[in-house]
Structure 1
């Protein structure tokens, strides 16, 4: 198995683990993303379980299975949109740093999250590199 696929499997596994954690413990997910459920409106915990839980778990888990069972060309098409999503998250944080600085409070964690998202995007997208050289 090429190193690029091992990197993708590691990144996808991490994304799936984040999703599983949020599915099982929405309070934990709430703390990680620093958002709170609004008890007056209801549905907050179902949103954490659905979006940060089930969605992340199933998208990363399904791609992980495909990467493991298909030849490298097949895994390239699967990982590219997920890697782009992680890069998009980092871009969103960069935009927030530029336009929302007054609303963000302590911004020290944002570059750490950005680096994590870029690293996940690179790891998950690594199989694409096999075909660029």
Structure 2
């Protein structure tokens, strides 16, 4: 197993654990992303979104890619990890744009300067097996 596969596996595991945390503790996920359920009493709920999108989706998406990476490998694994890596890179890019353009709406930068590099690093780490292939002459 190459060092790039190990880096990718560690990043996928970390992201899956974030998803598992949100699945088990949606209040934690809400606090991390600084979102709240709809306070309108006529529209109760909102925690299902934290459990579903930040929880189940992130957990199973990354776990599936991890299994494909470790059990199947090869070009199939590259096709499984590349969209996930692109998603994290896109999140970092979107957050950077928000940091630059949405200063009034964001009120204070909060964790945004921390999340931008983290999302970019996660995207690059997940993509490392693909990027490594392109680096070989």
TM range (shorter): over 0.9
Matched, 1:29 2:29: yes
Structure 1 stretches lacking a partner, 5+ long: none
Check whether the contact 1:72–1:127 (CA below 8 A) recurs between aligned residues. no
CA RMSD of aligned residues (A): 1.1
Check whether the contact 1:22–1:29 (CA below 8 A) recurs between aligned residues. yes
Quick check: 47-56 or 96-105, which moved more? 96-105
Equivalenced residues, count? 133
For 1:62 and 1:42, locate their aligned partners in 2 and report how far apart those are by CA, in whole Å. Answer: 32
Check whether the contact 1:16–1:58 (CA below 8 A) recurs between aligned residues. yes
What whole-Å deviation, never above 9, does each CA across 1:64-96 have from its counterpart, x for those lacking one? 000010233322111100000001101111111
Structure 2 stretches lacking a partner, 5+ long: none
Runs of 4+ in 1 over 4 A off after TM superposition: none
Query: Paired residue for 2:115?
Result: 113
Check whether the contact 1:75–1:127 (CA below 8 A) recurs between aligned residues. no
Query: Paired residue for 2:44?
Result: 42
How does 1:1-133 map onto structure 2 within 5 Å?
1-39=1-39, 40=41, 41-133=43-135
